[in-house]
């Protein structure tokens, strides 16, 4: 009796299990994006678009501008705590 082929062995390593990435900040050239990133202007704490994506990834419904205005008024340490508190809800 002929033996069939064995199970296919997959290669090790992580596999992509999510959709395409949204290309942020591509309205600027790469040099400008590098300078903005070094100035920390493209982080989730200073940019509304990044903040909305971070909220969506953590399951926070960011409806309207009220949460954004509340978030912007906080200092850096309070912003980190704000994310932790809202992800638990």
Domain contains 8: no
For 51, the domain range is 30-88
The pLDDT confidence band at residue 14, using thresholds 50, 70 and 90, is low
Residue 26: the pLDDT is: 77
Query: Is residue 17 assigned to a domain?
Result: no
Percent helix, strand and coil across the chain, each rounded to 5?
45, 0, 55
Instruction: Quote the CA–CA distance of 57 and 49 in Å, as a whole number.
Output: 12
- Whether 13 maps to a domain, the answer reads no
Q: How confident is the model at residue 55 (pLDDT cuts 50, 70, 90)?
A: confident
Asked whether residue 65 is assigned to any structural domain, the reply reads: yes
Q: How many domains in the chain?
A: 1
Can you give the pLDDT at residue 15?
A: 66
What is each CA distance from 39 to 5, 8, 28, 77, in whole angstroms? 56, 48, 15, 18
């Amino acid at each position: 009796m002929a033996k069939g082929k064995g199970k296919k062995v997959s290669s090790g390593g992580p596999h992509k299990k999510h959709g395409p990435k949204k290309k942020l900040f591509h309205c600027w050239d790469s040099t400008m994006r590098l300078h903005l990133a070094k100035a920390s202007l493209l982080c989730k704490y200073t940019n509304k678009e990044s903040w909305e994506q971070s909220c969506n990834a953590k399951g926070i419904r960011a409806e309207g501008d009220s949460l954004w205005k509340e978030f912007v008024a906080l200092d850096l340490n309070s912003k980190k705590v704000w994310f932790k508190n809202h992800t638990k809800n």
